[in-house]
Structure 1
Amino acid sequence: MTNKKSALMPVGEGILYLLRHGEIRTPGILAGKTNVSLSDVGMKQLSQATESLQDINHCISSPLIRCHAWAKEYCQQHNLSLDVDNQLQEMDFGDWDGQRYQSLWDMPKQAETSSIGDFWQNPWQHQPPNGEMMASFVSRVDSWWQDYCADKPLQNTLVVTHAGVIKYLLAKVLNLPIPGTVHMASIDVPYASLIKISLYRDELGKVWSKLVL
């Protein structure tokens, strides 16, 4: 997958909308696998972010409630099918998961484990204690992307997921270096961000992607 222009004629086109969940009920925590729900503000943020969307054929959601609860409601309102995919979950931050950011920054560094500062600077070399390795996270998101771009008709799809997943997919579309930290340090994905990616399949079956601003 790449965003370079193809000389071949497109034989199928679609739009992929990546939507980050809204504000959570416990802001200020590192919510990876932690299954925290949205606040009332978060639900409104998502509805406002998607109110102008048209011609959505399908919706896919992370199973975590901060994504799934709103996605289920949206699909019921718009008579859409909803797929729930575990590969779209946020990274599992292990012992750090669910803790407040401030307490993690204040935590004294242990010689045998990485600090959260080490992780943010280079997550490829520093794993959250008892958490998911960056290589494993990237592998499962890659697997989802490959499945989505497989040999089937492209649709206009809304994907409700998390900041880490969206940042990595943007890195793929923009051909940023992986392994690398550019996408983590240079891309900000606030609550309820809606990102549009155009996709088309050429005559040879290859899918091309482009970020639409």
Structure 2
Amino acid sequence: MAGKHPLTRADRWVATGIFVGTCAVFGLGLGGLSYGMFDRGAHSLLAATIGGAAGGLVFGFGMTFAIIASWRAGGGRATVVAINRAVRVGALPADADPAAWLPVLARRLEEARRWKLSNPLIFATVAVVGIGTAIAVRNPVYTIVMLGLAAVIIGITLWSVATRRRREQSILALIEELEARRGLDDGARPVPGNRDEGEDGTDGRAARIR
């Protein structure tokens, strides 16, 4: 589907929930981390509150914008959710439309191959920087938090590498099945000039039987 899919009212409500939830989680996390780094006075509380609110808004807006863009480019939220489920379980639903699904899956396959090497490298770099910062900054709370985040990032990296190949294979299998479905649909349509088609557009074989 080449055009941008319009958002429904339900899509807007879901996007609003994503924005609010992301802002709250990221803002509270960033604010708590900032407050733990300082002396916990009134000034540090104000700075942590402002920093958490600003960071939460920026991160929430960015995440929500990216999700909405994926919905619009992928044929709508319902289609994107169905495609995500199909990739995860490795099976197509009976009502999957090849015209809507194939462009999205082809784009995802290209993205998966492009990020195969860069994603682990980015995560590893962030983890190394976090560990180095935790060692350099002599603050127990900050050190514990940064080491915990580094451990989480390393875990995500290992999980990403382990599941990337399986995801690629699942997308390829879905693309092949959709192309086979499209071929069957095209073959089922009557072709003008077919020897089995009557002059009035009816099936010539049925006319001969009658």
Give me the TM-score of the superposition, normalised by structure 2: 0.31
Higher RCO structure (Cα 8 Å, ≥6 apart): 1
User: Which has the larger helix fraction?
Assistant: 2
Q: Mark the structure with the bigger radius of gyration.
A: 2
User: Which has the larger strand fraction?
Assistant: 1
